[in-house]
């Protein structure tokens, strides 16, 4: 979203760059050559500054949600809250920037000082991402960087465009129009490029990690330094209008005075703001003396009345932003649950989907102006601002209905949520599929009996049993086939913790259980998860891996390598589970006859990697270097899906079974395109038209105040998102998206009622011609 604040119309002759030889030149330049000759060249630095600043902001923001989830380890709800808390601050601080520029130090120094603050925030965030995720500086250094960035970007937001407009002669309206078109283009060009490129930087492995956030945040930091430098290049030639007065503070004082006088006054006034004129002495007021026509204070109060009317019409705006701004949070999280492959090895990263909105804006603006609006007028429907905004709000609601339908399809690829005081259990039959193989039937209280067949390699069937863990864990039995030499009525001793998922491995030697990894990858780069279970006897490990004590996994390590051989210098193709890793677990294989356990199995923790073909190696390392490498024969793992989680059980005969505990991301990320198309159309109709409406209906003296309040509605909308996420009243994203859609429809209904009565509000003005508003 881009907003353009108005330029100042009142300039002194001494500030006019077009003044020459003592006379004012109001000649309107005609023709490209004349426009180029008389164009204020310093505005090119301002346009370049805006391009770099928007690249910096949107680049950082596009990867922020994935950074919060993947690197800092926050859950989806917490990441959503933090993302929108940053946005709230970024859209509240324009009030501070506007007050600072208009009332104290002027636009130039406000942009300069806050740009330095802004760049310092980007550098702080990039520096924070350099340290490992378990470093003590996290998350406080990250939050400090985000806080500083929000102050900087919000503080300069209301100043840059109007400062560019200040460089022109007010009479040169054509040149000013071209400038704002170029300015708007630079905003969208910077944001579009950054939202496409920055996720690519984020997805590059570096510093031993699969993601390179220092690069993803470092490039925006460099761009912000360049933006500041470009702005300062023209500092000797800029036209700088001096600060006049703090208009926002004057509006607040006028409203406060009116409310105070209304309580104490017994006189009835036509409008409640008229009480602000009580006690006003026009003859001795400096503003009135300087005014050549009407009472200056009465004129300002009338301007505030028009502002109040506009603010009433802006009340539904926050709900629109509560939907629109979720592109960077909930919609990105949804994209992380989808198949991001486009063709072959070409991927569209989850945080790159936001670029679609920026591209569609550039396409839709001329399309709506040249095609959509004339076509609607041709069929006899007047295209008015308020009607466009109502239609835009309904389209925003429709985009969330589409999002809910997409999420409904995604739900089938997610792990069923584990309710409190319950646990999930999956039984994995690793018996070889031969004539003597065994099938088992687990039984327990309230379970439907299901046969557990021997697993085929790459078997995709996953069945969960849900078991209550309160007040006590019920007994679990397995019963094998009676016609075969299979264990009968074996009581399973399984330590079960609530709110966890467990896998029970039924092997020819006995059974074993362990925690089962069921979390989908959240790295956002097309990864899948894999864990390896080693069901190998001591003799095998001693011969091939030189492990002195095989049930104590401290001397050996395991490597998963792309292809047949390992490249020990590449962290992208070779993944090593070190023997001293605390997350490596061992569990006993308990014989079915209840005799003493003869050995343990080793479970390696889940890692998230990109699909490929892999071999498994037992290795011995000395001082971090590989001294011995034994590739386990007959074990070749090949994967071509993302989002799934596999457990490979490896015995001395090779790969016993490959158990998939989490389904893959089977819904294409391209299914998000319709919701982006609809929400972008909604933005054209509601957001851009809303800014046009607010700016057109406000008095000239209060244009900057309206722009600041318009940005404030964005902050309030993000506060709504934070409140919903914090309350956690929805069980899944489908119901949450539908609730937002319903709330938007209700809000637009209220907006339509306000539109009907808006004409009456407009007639509060004494000037009937001004009261006859056009929609």
Residues 389 and 447 in one domain: no
Contact between 152 and 114 under an 8 Å Cβ cutoff? The reply is yes
Q: What is the pLDDT of residue 114?
A: 93
* Dihedral over Cα of 484, 489, 491, 492: its sign: positive
β partners of residue 753: none
How far apart are the C-alpha atoms of 61 and 52, rounded to whole Å?
14
H or E element at residue 708: helix 703-727
534 within domain boundaries: yes
How far apart are the C-alpha atoms of 270 and 277, rounded to whole Å?
12
232 within domain boundaries: yes
The secondary structure of residue 179, as a DSSP letter, is H
3-state secondary structure 367-408: HHHHHHHHHHHHCCCCCCHHHHHHHHHHHHHHHHHHHHHHHH
Residues 672 and 611 in one domain: no
Question: Could you tell me which of 438, 435, 417 has the C-alpha nearest to residue 500?
Answer: 417
3-state secondary structure 499-528: CCEEEEEEECCEEEEEECCCCCCCCCCCCE
Which CA distances in Å does 502 have to 196, 441, 521, 542?
Answer: 40, 17, 18, 29
End position of a domain, from candidates 185, 214, 243: 243
Cis-peptide, bond into residue 467, ω within 30° of zero:
no
Q: What is the pLDDT of residues 447-457, one digit of tens each?
A: 766 677 766 55
Residues 382 and 427 in one domain: no
Residues 409 and 428 in one domain: no
Residues 394 and 473 in one domain: no
Strand 528-535 versus strand 476-480 pairing type: unpaired
Number of domains forming the structure of the chain: 3
Question: Could you tell me which of 47, 54, 99 has the C-alpha nearest to residue 708?
Answer: 99
The secondary structure of residue 576, as a DSSP letter, is E
How far apart are the C-alpha atoms of 118 and 288, rounded to whole Å?
40
Residues 691 and 745 in one domain: yes
Residues 46 and 174 in one domain: yes
Residues 644 and 732 in one domain: no
Contact between 386 and 755 under an 8 Å Cβ cutoff? The reply is yes
117 within domain boundaries: yes
b/e 648-670 (16+ beta carbons within 10 angstroms → b):
bbbbeeebbbbbbbbbbbebebe
Which backbone phi and psi does 491 adopt, to 5 degrees? -85, 125
299 within domain boundaries: no
Contact between 714 and 721 under an 8 Å Cβ cutoff? The reply is no
Place of tokens 């164009």: 39
Contacts of 20 (CB under 8 A, 6+ apart): none
Residues 13 and 132 in one domain: yes
What's the number of CA atoms in the CB half-sphere (13 Å) around residue 19? 13
Range of the domain at 436: 422-662
268 within domain boundaries: no
Which CA distances in Å does 516 have to 156, 336, 644?
Answer: 50, 21, 13
Q: What is the pLDDT of residue 290?
A: 67
Question: Could you tell me which of 59, 56, 55, 81 has the C-alpha nearest to residue 68?
Answer: 81
CATH number at residue 232: 1.20.1250.20
Residues 611 and 701 in one domain: no
Give the helix, strand, coil percentages of the chain, each rounded to 5. 50, 15, 35
N-to-C CA span, the chain? 24
465 within domain boundaries: yes
Q: What is the pLDDT of residue 758?
A: 62
Question: Could you tell me which of 138, 51, 154 has the C-alpha nearest to residue 100?
Answer: 154
Hey, what are 182's tokens? Answer: 């170029």
Residues 731 and 610 in one domain: no
Contact between 146 and 139 under an 8 Å Cβ cutoff? The reply is no
What's the number of CA atoms in the CB half-sphere (13 Å) around residue 536? 28
pTM of the predicted structure, to 2 decimals: 0.84
19 within domain boundaries: yes
3-state secondary structure 304-334: HHHHHHHHHHCCCHHHHHHHHHHHHCHHHHH
Residues 506 and 619 in one domain: yes
End position of a domain, from candidates 637, 662, 687: 662
Place of tokens 């360049």: 226
37 within domain boundaries: yes
Low-confidence ranges of the chain (pLDDT < 50): 1-24, 553-554, 760-775
How far apart are the C-alpha atoms of 544 and 547, rounded to whole Å?
8
End position of a domain, from candidates 606, 639, 662: 662
Which backbone phi and psi does 556 adopt, to 5 degrees? -100, 165
């Amino acid at each position: 979203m881009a907003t353009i604040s108005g330029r100042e119309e009142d300039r002194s002759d001494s500030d006019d760059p077009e003044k020459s030889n003592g006379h004012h030149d109001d000649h309107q330049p005609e023709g490209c050559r004349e426009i180029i000759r008389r164009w204020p060249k310093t505005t090119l630095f301002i346009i370049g500054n805006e391009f770099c600043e928007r690249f910096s902001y949107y680049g950082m923001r596009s990867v922020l949600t994935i950074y919060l989830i993947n690197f800092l380890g926050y859950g989806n709800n917490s990441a959503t809250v933090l993302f929108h808390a940053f946005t709230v601050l970024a859209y509240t601080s324009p009030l501070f920037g506007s007050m600072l520029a208009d009332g104290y130090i002027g636009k130039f120094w406000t942009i300069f000082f806050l740009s330095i603050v802004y760049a310092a925030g980007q550098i702080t965030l990039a520096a924070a991402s350099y340290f490992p995720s378990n470093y003590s500086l996290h998350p406080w250094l990250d939050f400090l960087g985000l806080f500083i960035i929000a102050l900087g970007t919000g503080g300069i937001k209301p100043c840059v465009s109007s400062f560019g407009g200040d460089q022109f002669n007010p009479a040169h309206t054509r040149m000013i129009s071209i400038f704002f078109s170029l300015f708007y283009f630079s905003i969208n060009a910077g944001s579009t490029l950054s939202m496409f490129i920055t996720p690519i930087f984020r997805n590059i492995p570096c510093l031993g990690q699969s993601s390179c956030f220092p690069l993803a945040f470092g490039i925006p930091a460099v761009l912000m330094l360049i933006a500041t430098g470009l702005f300062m290049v023209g500092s000797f030639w800029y036209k700088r209008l001096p600060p006049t007065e703090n208009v926002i503070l004057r509006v607040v004082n006028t409203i406060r005075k009116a409310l105070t006088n209304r309580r104490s006054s017994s006189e009835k006034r036509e409008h409640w703001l008229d009480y602000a004129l009580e006690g006003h002495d026009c003859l001795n007021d400096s503003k009135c003396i300087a005014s050549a026509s009407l009472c200056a204070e009465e004129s300002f109060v009338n301007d505030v009345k028009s502002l109040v009317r506009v603010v009433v019409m802006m009340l539904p705006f926050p709900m629109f932003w509560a939907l629109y701004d979720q592109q960077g949070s909930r919609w990105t999280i949804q994209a992380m649950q989808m198949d991001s492959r486009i063709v072959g090895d070409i991927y569209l990263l989850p945080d790159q989907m936001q670029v679609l909105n920026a591209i569609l804006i550039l396409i839709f603006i001329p399309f709506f102006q040249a095609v959509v609006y004339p076509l609607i007028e041709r069929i006899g429907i007047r295209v008015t601002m308020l009607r466009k905004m109502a239609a835009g709000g309904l389209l925003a609601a429709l985009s969330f209905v589409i999002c809910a339908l997409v999420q409904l399809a995604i739900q089938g690829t997610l792990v069923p949520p584990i309710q409190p005081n319950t646990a999930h259990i999956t039984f994995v039959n690793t018996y070889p599929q031969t004539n003597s193989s065994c099938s088992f039937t687990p039984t327990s209280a309230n379970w439907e009996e299901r046969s557990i067949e021997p697993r085929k390699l790459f078997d995709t069937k996953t069945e969960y049993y849900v078991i209550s863990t309160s007040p006590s864990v019920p007994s679990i039995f397995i019963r094998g086939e009676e016609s075969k030499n299979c264990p009968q009525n074996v009581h399973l001793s399984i330590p079960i913790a609530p709110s966890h998922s467990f896998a029970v491995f039924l092997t020819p030697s006995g059974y074993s259980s362990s925690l089962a990894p069921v979390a989908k990858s959240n790295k956002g780069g097309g990864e899948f998860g894999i864990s390896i279970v080693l069901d190998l006897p001591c003799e095998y490990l001693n011969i091939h891996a030189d492990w002195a004590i095989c049930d104590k996994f401290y001397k050996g390590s395991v490597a998963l390598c792309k292809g047949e051989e390992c490249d020990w210098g590449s962290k992208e193709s070779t993944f090593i589970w070190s023997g001293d890793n605390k997350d490596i677990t061992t569990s006993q294989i308990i014989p079915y006859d209840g005799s003493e356990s003869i050995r343990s199995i080793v479970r390696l923790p889940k890692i998230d990697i990109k699909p490929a073909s892999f071999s498994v190696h037992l290795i011995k390392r000395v001082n971090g270097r590989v001294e011995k490498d034994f590739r386990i024969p007959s074990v070749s793992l090949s994967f071509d899906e993302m989002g799934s989680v596999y457990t490979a059980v490896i015995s001395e005969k090779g790969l016993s079974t490959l158990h998939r505990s989490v389904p893959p991301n089977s819904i294409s990320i391209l299914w998000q395109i319709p919701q982006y198309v609809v929400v972008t159309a909604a933005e054209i109709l509601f957001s851009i038209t809303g800014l046009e409406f607010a700016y057109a209906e406000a008095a000239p003296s209060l244009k900057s105040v309206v722009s600041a309040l318009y940005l404030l509605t964005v902050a309030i909308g993000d506060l709504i998102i934070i409140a919903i996420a914090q309350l956690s009243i929805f069980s899944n994203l489908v119901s949450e998206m539908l609730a937002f859609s319903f709330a938007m429809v209700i809000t637009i209904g209220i907006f339509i009622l306000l539109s009907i009565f808006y004409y009456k509000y407009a007639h509060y003005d004494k000037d009937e011609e001004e009261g006859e508003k056009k929609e």
